[in-house]
Structure 1
């Protein structure tokens, strides 16, 4: 018995070294990327005193920077209103700019509490994250600078630019089967083709094209909406986030009922919510 105890005492330092190595590897796995996970349940958010929210900063009029570098837009207004109602201060937010490809992953990886970054709520995405009730109904529309084009029927047998592989392709084909579709890689390419009259119009998301019209007033959005897609706040799944999800949903439902969201939508030139 004493010999076994002596052997344990001799091996114990080795065990301590191995434990330390395992401990370091564990924490390096969590923190080694330099990206501190900051999502939290509502009680923790209240204790720390701020929300972390992923937003767009280059998507007028939803989320963009003005000439002074300040964040502006419908989604920025919504984020500030949520901070005011949940924490008592509109500036109780740490904003994180996010690329389109990362809008869900920053929530999945607990890097932010919420994402308000022009995310359409879909069934497939809902398997990964939770969505709030919609705060705006987006959808495909058509923009043109041709003064002779007043309605979508005026574009029969004419050229319409669409983003390659986007859902808008099928929507335009449904409404205008005889139109000639011209695939483009970006909004910039579509504007270039429209400017030099290679195409007669461009079909894309209403929220983005509303910002386009604000920047380039020679363009007009045709009145027919080709689709309706709900934009929602992205929230984490899990029972520990129930209170956060409930408070966000209740707040957005209240903003809708009171008309605050409608006023903000119209303020940013996005038209009437449908």
Structure 2
């Protein structure tokens, strides 16, 4: 009887120990997964991969879009290519990851991209989630509407519907400052502007650089409010805490600023749209520093 009790005790102790080890094993695996999901690409990682992954828009000309040949084009794209050339020796060594406005933070947090350059406006809220490099462009909000019912003041939007993109500064601005104005929200830029064409809203609010460009290529629409809210800046963003890549981008912007590269990118991509009606000095930030 005593022997049986000893055997049972040994079995129970063994079972508890095995359960303890299994529990530890599961905990370690969970930690490993957590660390894996929180991985950050160093400069060495990018060089070993042979590609730098950059988040850009697919449907926001002239800043980021896919042309009829399936190639990425636009102002942000030109700057990203230069980054690839100076970091990896070849501008083709960039992998463009197409993102929507609301996903610009999450693709960094999930390590799907190394840099987000999808016309990304710097805000205090976003600074809590990502690290912004120095800026390369200035921007504020603008409102575009049909010529037949032109909106020239925010007050005219009361009792009407305003179209915006989800995850944009336009959405945040109107939700905070004009909560009584009804917002129609869409994920993609193409959906947003189609909604305006279809008359689903009285007007559309977006970055003024965007609506000015769109109105120039779409007759019957005018930017009646060219500047709204404070002037903001657009900058590349990296995953929170990736100081190595952040420092590299800031140095890169300073270096290419010495040759006025951002102005050149403007001439190649934005001037054909804006013409002489907009001065590049009113939009472009050279060398990563505001004057």
Scaled by the length of structure 2, what TM-score is found? 0.67
**1:187 is aligned to 2:193:** yes
Matches of 2:93 and 2:124 in 1, distance apart?
A: 31
Report what 1:178 is aligned to: none
What root-mean-square deviation, in Å, do the aligned CA atoms of Structure 1 and Structure 2 show?
4.2
* Total equivalences in the alignment: 249
Structure 2 runs not aligned, ≥5 long: 1-9, 165-169, 186-191, 283-291
The separation in 1 between residues aligned to 2:112 and 2:149, in whole angstroms, is: 49
> Could you say which residue in structure 2 is the equivalent of 1:3?
none
1:2-41 Cα deviation digits (max 9, x unpaired): xxxxx8xxx69968x948963995499469xxx9877411
Matches within 5 A, 1:125-204: 125-144=126-145, 146=147, 152=152, 162-163=162-163, 166-167=171-172, 169=174, 183-185=183-185, 186-193=192-199, 199=202, 202-204=204-206
Per the alignment, do residues 214 and 253 of structure 1 end up closer, same or farther by CA in structure 2, a change over 3 Å counting?
A: farther
Is 1:73 aligned with 2:112? no
Aligned to 1:231: 234
Aligned pairs (5 A) from 1:246-257: 246-257=247-258
Q: Name the residue aligned to 1:205.
A: 207
Alignment of 1:1-274 (within 5 A): 18=22, 22=26, 25-26=29-30, 29=33, 39-144=40-145, 146=147, 152=152, 162-163=162-163, 166-167=171-172, 169=174, 183-185=183-185, 186-193=192-199, 199=202, 202-213=204-215, 215-221=217-223, 224-227=226-229, 228-238=231-241, 241-266=242-267, 267-268=269-270, 269=273, 271=278, 272-274=280-282
Question: Is the contact made by 1:162 and 1:169 (CA closer than 8 Å) also made in structure 2?
Answer: no
**How many Å separate the matches in 2 of 1:157 and 1:28?**
54
Aligned mates of 1:264, 1:172 — CA distance in 2: 34
Instruction: Structure 1 unaligned segments of length 5 or more: list them.
Output: 1-6, 174-180
**Contact preservation (8 Å) 1:162, 1:202:** yes
TM-score norm. by structure 1 comes to: 0.71
Paired residues of 1:39 and 1:112 also in contact (CA < 8 A): no
